[in-house]
Structure 1
Amino acid sequence: MKQTLSLTLVYIAVFGALSQPVIASDDQAIEIIEVYAQKRAQSLDEVSIAVTPISGANISRSAVKDTTELGAFVTNMKISQNAAEGTPPAINIRGVGLLDYNTANTSPVAMYVDGASVGSANNQLVNFFDIEQVEILKGPQGTLFGRNSTGGAVLIRSKRPDAGTYGEVKVGIGSDDRQKVQGFYNASINNESALRFAVNHVKYDYTSYNLHPTAPEAHMEQSDLRLSYFAQWDELSVYLKANYSHWSGIVQPVGNIGVKNPNTGAVCTPNEAMTGRCVDNFGFNDGSDDFWAVNVNNDSPHHSIGKGWTAEVEYQLNDKAQLVWINAFSRLDREHAFNCDGSPVNTCEGNLGLKAELLNNEVRYQSEYANGYLTSGIFQLEERLYQDNYNDILRDLRGTVNGANSVTFFYDNIIRNKVLAIFAQYEWQWRTDTTVTFGLRYSDESVDYDSVARINAVVDPSDLNGAMLPFYDLDGDNDDSGWSGRFALNHQLDKNKLLYYSFANGTKSGGYNGGLLSSAEQAKQADYGTESLNAHEIGAKLTFSDSRVRLNSALFYYDYQDQQVFMNQPSETPGVVPLQLLENVGASKIYGAESDLYYDINKHIDVQVGLGYIPHAEFEEFVDPVGVSLTDNRLPFTSKFNVNAQVSFAQYIEFGTLTTTLGVDYQSEYYFDQLQNDYAKQDGYALWRFNSLLDMGQWQANIWAKNLFDKEYSNLKFDLRNFLGMLQDFKGEGRRVGLDIRYRF
């Protein structure tokens, strides 16, 4: 146990150093990075997958709060809070993603926390504290990580208990009334085992502020706890983790972008609408030139509780082979109120109620042979989603001549997902410098759903409270099974220089779109089929230890079939709720390139630069269910150009080491929906970040800033022009600055 725990300490120390500038001698070689992209620790230079590792130290010093901020460090990746914090985040890698706030859906980018799948997109909003490393895997990961990893996978690894008794406390303050307390305590029990307790508490207001005189201040308060245990005996190791989270607050208020000229009633151009001077169908705009200001009756509470466990048991069969069992359970209870008209009136209000339960198991056999390495296993998952949603439409128009469409939709769904899969991957050492990888997975999946909806409408003009009426009641299933696989050819130029070709196939299963369905016919058509993606990739991973340079580059081509795309489709009838569909759109083609350079210039300065380029990400020939052609439209949420970079400068001072970092993430323009219209578009923008960290050993102080120049941008613009004459504007995060003080003991 002492040797194992000592190795763990060395491992953590190496990864902690990855995000720190080189301050050793000028002839120091560049560090070796280990990743778990193939479910075992390997050097990054050995893996024929485009992987971006982000160390826990880099996450901490950059004040990264949760998974929605990871895109700033990764080429050709974009993550946002989607509709608002607390709704499922939108993750997009190389043009593959799902932009949908619906709590019933699953992202095509899988997420694993400490080796266990998190299931649907509801569980992909993860707060970061006491983190060892995050890995972003690009391209289909269907062989080892299964269905619903068409676009890639995000692997999050918490710090595990290790040898020694020690701890850390971090406190922070910042703009927008930000307050933070984090910490951990690690304690050895004996020579074979240790415990670790980690806590995170953060409280803050949003950078968007509300001009409405009676609306409460939007804010969020989040608490997270994690208790873990690790033990190592001769042949057996056990890792146990229990976690708990509690969130409460008032959700970030949505903005209102009107599209009508207040003087003439004519439709404003997109440029005119974005000035904030146009109005919605009711003559409203927020009356302010400040981008961050809104005027909304936003008494919209959010409350969620998450809890669960993870267990990993590893049994060493012999020096070359082991069995691994991972078992995990999680439950999420959430109530998320929203205001979708972005105004002081009651024309669009609602709530997303959810209970999600997830159980998954994986048993793996892994073995090293004279000429290769085998990873094989069985995976099982069961997930149940209980939705309790409503959307109150045109409440203030009840009893008026314009109130014919005033109705409250109550839509409750029970969706049950079951998955059983077997998989195997063999890495064959064909020659001393060449490895061939073969992988195959068979998945059997079933989705059962019960969908019950009611409406409240005025049937008696003297009673504006309305009457509850049945709307639709249906059940069904969507079963699917299929194969996914992988072939890769690795050629090692030398120990730290790899050239590779990879072909990978991935699928995302069909399901039932349990969002707002405004007609019984739409509800009957709400199930959707499987999508698949065939990906070709050529890459190079070149580490030049003598010059302290690492260069990772890739070219990729995707053939995307039956792609699932969320469509916010305007109704053909003006003033009626838009259709919200999840449809298989036929075929899409995506191709592009990316390159990441890491250069430790000298003992004081290191530079990281990532360049992403996706010139083509378009639908092939396709006409949507209401007759609108999407042919040659660019895929939503997909920038053509992406640049991320950071430079760090470290110097010794009298009482410690001062490391200053300046970073930037640039995204060129992209569209928020499939219609590729200039109203629902985000112009190109750059978000700068800064931090200056003084490390005095036991004490550490870190000044940080995000969105340093207060750039105005949106996470989502949801098109409601044909319904309310406006777009919902879910604003991004403005400038935040803070100071964190850490004490180690």
Structure 2
Amino acid sequence: MFKLNTLFLSVAAGMLVTGVSNPVNANGLELKASKVKESSADIEVIEVYAQKRAQSIVDVAVAVTAIDGSDIDRLQIKDTTQLANSVPNLKITNNAGEGTPPAFSIRGVGMIDYNTSTISPIAIYSDGIVSGSANNLSINLFDIEQIEVLRGPQGTLFGRNTTGGAILLMSKQPDAEFGGYINASIGQYSYRSVDGAINIPLSDTTAMRFAFNQDDYDFSTNNLMEGSPDGGLKQQNFRLIVKSELDDVTILAKVHQEKWSGKPKPIASNGILNLDGSGMCTPEQAGSDICMDAFGGQVGGSDFWDVKADTADRNHESDSWGASLNVQWHINPNIDLTLISGLRDLERDHLWDSDGIGNYIEGSMGTGNRLVSHELNIAYHLKQVFWQTGLFYLSEETKQNNSFDLFRDFRAIPQLATNAAEYRYNNVLKNSSMAIYSQLDYQVTDATTLTTGLRYTDESTKYHANADLDIITGLIPDLWDFNGEVTDGEWSGKLALTQKLNAYNSLYVSYTRGYKSGGYNGGYSTSELQARDSEYQAEKLHAYEVGGKLQNIIPYLQLNIAAFYYDYREQQVFVNIPNSVVPYHVLKNAGDSTIYGAELEMAYTPTNNLQFNINVGYLPKANIGHYQKNNILVDDNRLPFSSKWNISGSVLYETQLAGKMLTSQLGFDYQSDFYFDQNENIYTEQKGYTLANGRISYQASNALLLSLWGKNLTNVEYAELRFDSIAALGAVTELKGEARQLGVELNYKF
């Protein structure tokens, strides 16, 4: 390890000395007319908040992708789970269906555990407030100013330490001008969307902005089960921000509310047993009319999006709200103080089905989640020094009211009735996190900046695990009932060097130590032994990175490149146990991982009306180390959701039509092969695929914009999840990706 690290630092130092370029970002650009000027002296460099202050992107030693709010609208990105097609080495999926905790992965570091107790190693900071558990990672994107995706561990500055990265959401802020807009869109699969905002000045110093969003849609799955729906959601979201700018103090108050309801996406239970009894079907044949599951069930349709699932009694309901207060005090020309406090409350009930036409494996996710966070940050800046230090506190409580209903149909068969059981869980997890952090940027020379940062985090998770059991003979209360606690105290931090070649180009080298605390995985245990074995410990990540941000080495070309090496210790891995008749999965510190790769982001604007964007993520190695305990085995397999190649891009073209602006955009997103679990099971492999999307917009007047849009234009067949249910059901549980969808949109500004 020492030899590898020494070589890494030697190469990095050589890059800084010789001026060899390397790193990442070109998203969030507009055409040359607005962001790339006719001479290099007029270049406008992207501004980011990756270090909790406004900086030119060339001044930060962080791999960061900035996505402008106009790009969010143009790319038809509905929520945070759809950001992956704009960021290299970012993968996101609703692996248990929309409305449940999604799975985020950056550079192979992520969490595919869909349990409501999960804390993802990727956090979202919405206007400065941390998301907390994975329950809060799916956020609708409307009236957004900018999104920044920080790749790699954020060991110093950001709230709850994240080993994978952080996503910063920045809402549009109130200003002194009255105005607003309304946007309406309709599309296939009963898609209806309306969003808008109004900005109202209240006085010379105070203004408010109210924004809203409503999406109502069906999924593209075609449920062949009589009386069962295709699934769909209605989502209503509101946000109010009031901003007061006094002489030396700025006060920002925000409240928001979200209400979702509907039917979950029905799964396909793809049987893998040949109808003729000759053995198992191939992965390509699974779910076809020549295959069945262990109970003789079949999907029965010939179209990829056909499913057959008994979901008539399955529902989804989410209600959440939150509030935050941000106070910024400019004490004097050299000192600023910021206080951010936030509260978020969520109540969710999601009923799921994973067995197709029968009632063999079903359940519910009932979640009550409340999070409170406070952060105090003091920044001191002189000509050569920018130093910030702060205190962070978080308290989060999650109440689980889950159920796990196994083989209910057996209750009607006397010989099998004793095999049917329903587990009802009443778990409570209380997490508290306290941290002190400090980071110093020291300008060694006019061109060289040294960044050092350190953070100490003290975190604990207290849990109460309780379960009742309902069987054919009656209810057994308190099948298990016990308490536990996991505590951690860890240092993390950062050391980086940034070398500016000129005002618009820079190189950097960095070392970051990331840390994520341990906890308790409140999953679907079926014995007290399994429940007691649900603790997991902290993971650590040592990240080495070199990169560069090159804004005009070639005229009108913006290029960012990064190369990284991860030494991942005691990695927390969601492990699906194969060959278990009763589905069983755990979250364990399943060994050490080695990850390395590279990224490239490019924007090229050869003319005033044409722009090319491309993002390339490359992960040649992303493997879990060998781990074995009892029947849990992880044997140097590739990490789930970690494609070797992740390539996306777009072409944007503007022209005049009848004296008005016509804008066309065509984009694509390619993911190479990956697995949905750690076993590298051929039945749960997703082969590589490419999704294409497009949009044509016509500016009919200064106030009116008309658009045609399309997603998955080539109607590619792909899965959001494949789960190994072979031992239990003789089938692979699959959630279908969304089919081609076309729509129209109208935007009116006032």
TM-score range, shorter chain: over 0.9
Structure 2 CA distance, aligned partners of 1:635 and 1:624? 18
For residues 317-349 of structure 1, give each alpha carbon's deviation from its aligned partner in whole angstroms, at most 9, with x where no partner exists: 1112100000000000000011111x2221122
1:27 aligns with 2:38: yes
Structure 1 CA distance, aligned partners of 2:282 and 2:741? 32
- What residue in structure 2 maps to residue 144 of structure 1? 157
- What residue in structure 2 maps to residue 550 of structure 1? 558
Aligned pairs (5 A) from 1:304-315:
304-315=318-329
Structure 2 CA distance, aligned partners of 1:673 and 1:624? 18
1:81 Cα offset (Å): 1.2
1:68 aligns with 2:81: yes
Aligned pairs (5 A) from 1:569-584:
569-572=577-580, 576-584=581-589
Structure 2 CA distance, aligned partners of 1:18 and 1:444? 37
User: SS at 1:196's partner residue?
Assistant: strand
1:26 Cα offset (Å): 7.4
Structure 2 CA distance, aligned partners of 1:16 and 1:196? 29
1:655 Cα offset (Å): 4.0
**Alignment-mate amino acid for residue 551 of structure 2:** T
Structure 1 CA distance, aligned partners of 2:471 and 2:705? 60
Q: Is the alpha carbon distance of 1:26 and 1:542 closer, same or farther for their aligned partners in structure 2, counting shifts above 3 Å?
A: closer
Aligned pairs (5 A) from 1:212-361:
212-264=225-277, 266-273=279-286, 275=288, 277-299=290-312, 300-341=314-355, 343-361=356-374
Partner of residue 689 from structure 2, selected from 685, 689, 693: 685
Q: Is the alpha carbon distance of 1:625 and 1:690 closer, same or farther for their aligned partners in structure 2, counting shifts above 3 Å?
A: farther
Partner of residue 108 from structure 1, selected from 111, 121, 124: 121
User: SS at 1:523's partner residue?
Assistant: helix
For residues 145-193 of structure 1, give each alpha carbon's deviation from its aligned partner in whole angstroms, at most 9, with x where no partner exists: 1444100001111101011111111111111011111110001111111
Partner of residue 173 from structure 2, selected from 132, 138, 160: 160
Partner of residue 613 from structure 2, selected from 608, 611, 616: 608
- What residue in structure 1 maps to residue 195 of structure 2? 182
Structure 2 CA distance, aligned partners of 1:40 and 1:23? 27
Return 5+ residue gaps in structure 1 as ranges: 1-14, 460-465
Contact 1:147 1:506 in 2 (8 A): no
Structure 1 CA distance, aligned partners of 2:244 and 2:296? 65
**Alignment-mate amino acid for residue 599 of structure 1:** Y
**Alignment-mate amino acid for residue 335 of structure 1:** D
Structure 2 CA distance, aligned partners of 1:407 and 1:693? 55
Partner of residue 50 from structure 1, selected from 59, 63, 71: 63
1:80 Cα offset (Å): 1.1
User: SS at 2:426's partner residue?
Assistant: strand
Structure 2 CA distance, aligned partners of 1:287 and 1:216? 16
- What residue in structure 1 maps to residue 52 of structure 2? 39
Contact 1:235 1:317 in 2 (8 A): yes
Structure 1 CA distance, aligned partners of 2:48 and 2:461? 33
Contact 1:19 1:57 in 2 (8 A): no
1:194 Cα offset (Å): 0.4
Q: Is the alpha carbon distance of 1:17 and 1:79 closer, same or farther for their aligned partners in structure 2, counting shifts above 3 Å?
A: closer
User: SS at 2:529's partner residue?
Assistant: helix
1:519 aligns with 2:527: yes
1:275 Cα offset (Å): 4.5
**Alignment-mate amino acid for residue 340 of structure 2:** I
Contact 1:612 1:643 in 2 (8 A): yes
User: SS at 2:285's partner residue?
Assistant: helix
**Alignment-mate amino acid for residue 623 of structure 2:** E
- What residue in structure 1 maps to residue 19 of structure 2? none
For residues 473-531 of structure 1, give each alpha carbon's deviation from its aligned partner in whole angstroms, at most 9, with x where no partner exists: 11110011110010001111111111110100111110000010111101111010000
Q: Is the alpha carbon distance of 1:272 and 1:522 closer, same or farther for their aligned partners in structure 2, counting shifts above 3 Å?
A: same
Contact 2:269 2:733 in 1 (8 A): yes
1:371 aligns with 2:384: yes
Contact 1:147 1:507 in 2 (8 A): no
1:505 aligns with 2:518: no
Q: Is the alpha carbon distance of 1:294 and 1:625 closer, same or farther for their aligned partners in structure 2, counting shifts above 3 Å?
A: same
Contact 1:75 1:612 in 2 (8 A): yes
**Alignment-mate amino acid for residue 281 of structure 2:** C
Structure 1 CA distance, aligned partners of 2:486 and 2:636? 30
For residues 51-80 of structure 1, give each alpha carbon's deviation from its aligned partner in whole angstroms, at most 9, with x where no partner exists: 001111001111110011100001111011
**Alignment-mate amino acid for residue 596 of structure 2:** Y
**Alignment-mate amino acid for residue 157 of structure 2:** L
Partner of residue 708 from structure 1, selected from 704, 708, 713: 713
- What residue in structure 2 maps to residue 561 of structure 1? 569
Contact 1:663 1:690 in 2 (8 A): yes
Partner of residue 643 from structure 2, selected from 628, 639, 646: 639
Q: Is the alpha carbon distance of 1:276 and 1:610 closer, same or farther for their aligned partners in structure 2, counting shifts above 3 Å?
A: farther
Q: Is the alpha carbon distance of 1:277 and 1:100 closer, same or farther for their aligned partners in structure 2, counting shifts above 3 Å?
A: farther
1:721 aligns with 2:707: no
Structure 2 CA distance, aligned partners of 1:191 and 1:16? 37
Q: Is the alpha carbon distance of 1:144 and 1:308 closer, same or farther for their aligned partners in structure 2, counting shifts above 3 Å?
A: same
Contact 2:130 2:160 in 1 (8 A): no
Structure 2 CA distance, aligned partners of 1:125 and 1:668? 24
Structure 1 CA distance, aligned partners of 2:106 and 2:414? 47
- What residue in structure 2 maps to residue 6 of structure 1? none
Contact 1:105 1:121 in 2 (8 A): yes
1:579 Cα offset (Å): 1.6
1:611 Cα offset (Å): 1.2
User: SS at 2:100's partner residue?
Assistant: coil
Structure 1 CA distance, aligned partners of 2:707 and 2:117? 40
1:472 aligns with 2:465: no
Runs of 4+ deviating beyond 6 Å: none
Contact 1:30 1:549 in 2 (8 A): no
Contact 2:230 2:266 in 1 (8 A): no
Instruction: Provide the aligned C-alpha RMSD in A.
Output: 1.7
Q: Is the alpha carbon distance of 1:642 and 1:212 closer, same or farther for their aligned partners in structure 2, counting shifts above 3 Å?
A: same
Structure 1 CA distance, aligned partners of 2:140 and 2:160? 25
Q: Aligned pair count?
A: 720
1:16 Cα offset (Å): 14
Tell which deviates more after alignment, 445-454 or 699-708. Answer: 699-708
Please give the TM-score of this superposition, normalised by the length of structure 2. Answer: 0.94
1:653 Cα offset (Å): 2.4
Contact 2:95 2:721 in 1 (8 A): yes
- What residue in structure 2 maps to residue 735 of structure 1? 740
User: SS at 1:734's partner residue?
Assistant: coil
**Alignment-mate amino acid for residue 462 of structure 2:** D
Q: Is the alpha carbon distance of 1:704 and 1:77 closer, same or farther for their aligned partners in structure 2, counting shifts above 3 Å?
A: same
- What residue in structure 2 maps to residue 648 of structure 1? 652
**Alignment-mate amino acid for residue 605 of structure 1:** L
Q: Is the alpha carbon distance of 1:162 and 1:594 closer, same or farther for their aligned partners in structure 2, counting shifts above 3 Å?
A: same
User: SS at 1:396's partner residue?
Assistant: helix
Structure 1 CA distance, aligned partners of 2:282 and 2:713? 31
- What residue in structure 2 maps to residue 4 of structure 1? none
User: SS at 1:722's partner residue?
Assistant: helix
- What residue in structure 2 maps to residue 12 of structure 1? none
**Alignment-mate amino acid for residue 262 of structure 1:** L
Contact 1:71 1:77 in 2 (8 A): yes
**Alignment-mate amino acid for residue 38 of structure 2:** D
Q: Is the alpha carbon distance of 1:481 and 1:455 closer, same or farther for their aligned partners in structure 2, counting shifts above 3 Å?
A: same
Please give the TM-score of this superposition, normalised by the length of structure 1. Answer: 0.94
1:407 aligns with 2:417: no
**Alignment-mate amino acid for residue 588 of structure 1:** S
Q: Is the alpha carbon distance of 1:16 and 1:684 closer, same or farther for their aligned partners in structure 2, counting shifts above 3 Å?
A: closer
1:404 Cα offset (Å): 3.7
Contact 2:255 2:323 in 1 (8 A): yes
For residues 257-289 of structure 1, give each alpha carbon's deviation from its aligned partner in whole angstroms, at most 9, with x where no partner exists: 111111115122323326563211101111112
Q: Is the alpha carbon distance of 1:522 and 1:592 closer, same or farther for their aligned partners in structure 2, counting shifts above 3 Å?
A: same
Tell which deviates more after alignment, 303-312 or 688-697. Answer: 688-697
